[in-house]
Structure 1
Amino acid sequence: MSQGKSFGRTTKFTLYHGFALSLGLHAALAIPFGLHALEHPPEEEDIPPLVVELQGLVSTNQSNEKLLQETKGEAKQADAASAAQPEAKPMQDDGPQPETDQPTQLKASEQDKTEKKDPEKEKVPEVAETSAPSPAHTASNSSSAGTNNTKGTEEQQKAQTIRNEREAELNRLKEYIKSLTKKVQTNLAYPDQARQSGLQGTPTVSFTVLPSGQIRMESLRIVASSGKPELDQAAVKTVRASVPFNPPPKEMTVAIAVSFGRKH
């Protein structure tokens, strides 16, 4: 009986036995993980910086793609708006033209060149027509040329007439002065003492002759002395004695030389 009781005591399962059994089971389960951790130690945790950089690159690429899509969308909207607007002649086209338009442009340029050349061909007869003046126009030009020649001839004749009149007047003045000089020399008042002493000289006397042939006495003077006072005074006396002179062509002031010498 005592052995049966002791065996019953030993085989009785208590709360402590359950707790110990639970710990053993957990320990058995944790052993494989511990061995795996010992065989493969954890690497250094550099993942967060790499993750951050990758996320930054991804976000940048996404932003660029988003911006590109927005730009394309705006370009499409602008094209749609320009297509909706009425066609207008462009002032200047800086963008490249599509290759399909080149043949059309070449044809247009060739047509323009042809159109530009055609007016030149049409202008040739016009030039020829204008270069050949009509007979009436030729006659008018001839009459104009004849009129110009006539005017030129008349002007030359007038100029020649004026020159002839001046030369004639100058000749009359020369002849009149010669007559004055001759009359003065004829009425020469040569002082006897100066003649006997052989005094010689040629003073020049100036005076104004009036249309009547008289002289203006206050104008009578010696303009070039002979160097001998008695001969200068005798020249003035001689002019006074010669008045009146022949009427001049017009009132004039003359200067004549009065010569005193042995021959007189």
Structure 2
Amino acid sequence: MVQTLPHIPSFDLSGRRALVTGASSGIGLGCAVALAGAGAHVVCAARRADVLHDSVAAMRDAGHSAEALVLDQTDLTALKDAFSTPFDIVVNSAGLARHSAAVDTDVVDFDTVMDVNVKGAYFLSSYAARALLNAGKPGSIIHISSQMGHVGGPDRAVYCASKHAVEGMVKAMAIEWGKAGIRINTICPTFIRTPLTEGTFNDAHSLAWIMDKIKLPRAGVVSDIMGAALYLASDASGMVTGTAMMVDGGWTAD
């Protein structure tokens, strides 16, 4: 008898349109490159126009299909307009942190973090899903969350609150949109070396804390997130929704 082998799921994204927010640098740019490298046309969105255009130019020079969209995710009117046509894939990598002891948190910092990390993420998901539902299309929505959406950390009460909120939001949305073939998940990185995190890594106390918590012998780099983004964007993750992919070097294992 001839043995029938299982079909290998495809990571190919040819013919698909993707939107990546926070795409001018760091994790967002890494996700944009990963999706474009698999064949997607990627709309790269970010606030910093000069950096964004330089990044998109570099992607095009590398042979990728990409375009720039200057976008502030807290501008909900502009955010809604971005979904005038549906995207097959949406990666939300826009986010920020304002660290302080909980007793020292001021209202401005709290609102600033929540506006981007929670409110912006919520309505980006809503607008993305509505466009897909109206078009009768499936899709994949991916949020770059954090290991801090599953644990706590010193001087990170506001940030942790925002990421725990995203994790709960994603579970509820997955339940609502699953029957329509719209998947929504999070990627939860540990500390990733980027230009924005170099200050943390250059602080001896912070570095010691990070390396004590990470079970692997190194901190994370952007390429560690790229494979996770490609997996969740592709048909290879066709049965994955409402879940968190931990890319944390074992931080949350204990």
Q: Which structure shows the bigger proportion of residues in strand conformation?
A: 2
Q: Provide TM-score, normalisation by structure 2.
A: 0.17
Q: Which structure shows the bigger proportion of residues in helix conformation?
A: 1
Report 1 or 2 for greater relative contact order, CA contacts < 8 Å, sequence distance ≥ 6.
2
